A and B are shown apart, each in its own frame.
Chain A
């Protein structure tokens, strides 16, 4: 009897110290949105940020993919209960679940990307996607020979329209007569996971004379780039730098530095400089931009690069204000 009491006391002590250790050296956690970890796009970008943190600091982190909406709250709660912090959740679909769970764990730090949750222990990171899309729009218009370019969002959705609208504005700043076709992959979130359908939609645009296509479809975008490459035309990647996917056929990528947002959150936590509140990352903060690397070096002429640099400077200085579709749900061009 005393022996069992003794052992259970030890076991309890060990468990307690494990919990204490857990809180003292909190590991960050990353929970991916529906598209999944290796979507070569949005979620993968967050993953890359976490890997960057791991490599630089030697610290570890945990991550998880979810299979349904009911698991959102559950996953956040699981990591919070186990003492992880910060818990990084890329994707606007997390907003409701986070709003429910975050108040239960006031000492845990949360980071949501692409949406704003106004709570004292939440950092919200949003991007000015329209600014980066403006730049790739310039490149698309300058590259196009047919005078027709395309954009393929996953579905009709405000955030994705912000990309499309910035792209149109950028393209029309170069060539006011350019034709911009916009076709959706599908009607809902599952469109992000449907590269087959994305390929079909893109082929239809290409058949109509489009020679540069901007994908705004996350994981499904692989199908857009594939179709453009197969037809000997040009695709434009999104979120991550996708120039390497079909070298010579990906004109550029509208990178959204989700990796930087994830990396910064983890580093800030480690350095004790974590802060709540809304962080807006635009061109000035290098949160968005057009990707230039060895894979697209041959596609970009010095004039194109100069035009992008010029527009970048003007957007940062405020001489050009790129319209944000989300403000009034309308696109001026």
Chain B
């Protein structure tokens, strides 16, 4: 085996992910076939459900919003070499910040409450991510372990706070008091009838801004440069006079703030109240989104859209095809995560063989 030759860029960023997704669908199709349904019909229903009509597309964009924020929370930290598995918990705790300011300002128009919710959600999410950041920077506790554990702490803590303190009397399920309609993050169907009866809201636009913002921060600022240096070589970063521990803490806080926007979307917008476990896995999907998107905002946007379509299309499939159960939908989604995330490089060696051009031949012929 000679030294590995890097793949052409378009193969690396476009062809490889597309092949991975197709492979996942192929195996998912076999699963669908095994239960006696037509896999092509299933794909058709999923695409129709995700993009075919207004409210379905609205749901796709709603899920996409969550996945963009969670994906950015992972990507941002990853640029600094930190593997943040905690967006789930960070978003959950951010929900507390969102609901506290929203209820305090309840009744005021959304132009006042929404910025307050963004700030509060960002601060709470940042605080929850800052602690693992601090423990990594000052105590050397590995960020992967601490962020995972902080997800569990968040679940217990929030469960306690919601059921014992935020729950109003006379309400059966565990949830906070509702935010008045006027103070919620406005849904896009207020402006576009197309999205009628779908939960997509202004947070989606916030997500698009966040994509641009993260790109600018990471690749166009001095801070972003320091972050990337730290990510690629901590020793070089220290030698260049960058305070690694300070960078780790700030980056984690920023990542947590990003995850906190998931709470603005759900608590402030869709549900209009804080319910138990509202994040429902979006934070973990964010890890897959970030890796499929190679940590770049553009890639994150595309893979978030893919997962959003998978979630909404999956719901449509469960509704339309009686033989398809919830578990099968999860299986198909898991296959996509498996092939694009965990086994994302499986097809790399064969592709490298396909695109490998022997160097001596090319120099002789090409001149």
A residues adjacent to B (C-beta < 8 A): 36-37, 62, 64-71, 73-75, 77-78, 92-93, 95-96, 114-115, 155-159, 186-190
Contacts and interface: CB of A to CB of B under 8 A. Distances in A.
B330 A37 contact: no
Contacts of B163: 155-157, 187-188
Contact of B278 (A65, A69, A96, A156): A69
A261 B62 CA distance: 35
Nearest to B333: A67
A69 B271 contact: yes
A66 B172 CA distance: 20
B226 to A, nearest CB: 38
A70 B199 contact: yes
B329 A189 contact: no
Ranked 7 nearest A-B pairs via Cβ: A187-B159, A65-B326, A188-B159, A92-B172, A68-B280, A188-B276, A93-B173
Given A70-B271, A155-B163, A187-B155, 10 more contacts: A66-B315, A67-B311, A67-B329, A69-B275, A70-B280, A71-B315, A73-B199, A95-B172, A96-B271, A190-B155
B174 A188 contact: yes
A159 B315 contact: no
A167 B299 CA distance: 55
B277 A189 contact: yes
Given A36-B326, A188-B174, A189-B276, A77 B270 contact: no
Given A67-B329, A77-B197, A188-B276, A96 B159 contact: no
Contacts of A92: 172-173
A254 to B, nearest CB: 19
Interface in B321-349: 322, 325-326, 329-330
A187 B173 contact: no
B174 A64 contact: no
B174 A189 contact: yes
A70 B62 contact: yes
B59 interface: yes
A256 to B, nearest CB: 15
B180 to A, nearest CB: 14
B325 A37 contact: yes
Interface in B146-162: 155-156, 158-160
B280 A75 contact: no
B322 A69 contact: no
A188 B315 contact: no
Given A70-B270, A71-B315, A62 B322 contact: yes
B184 to A, nearest CB: 13
A159 B174 CA distance: 11
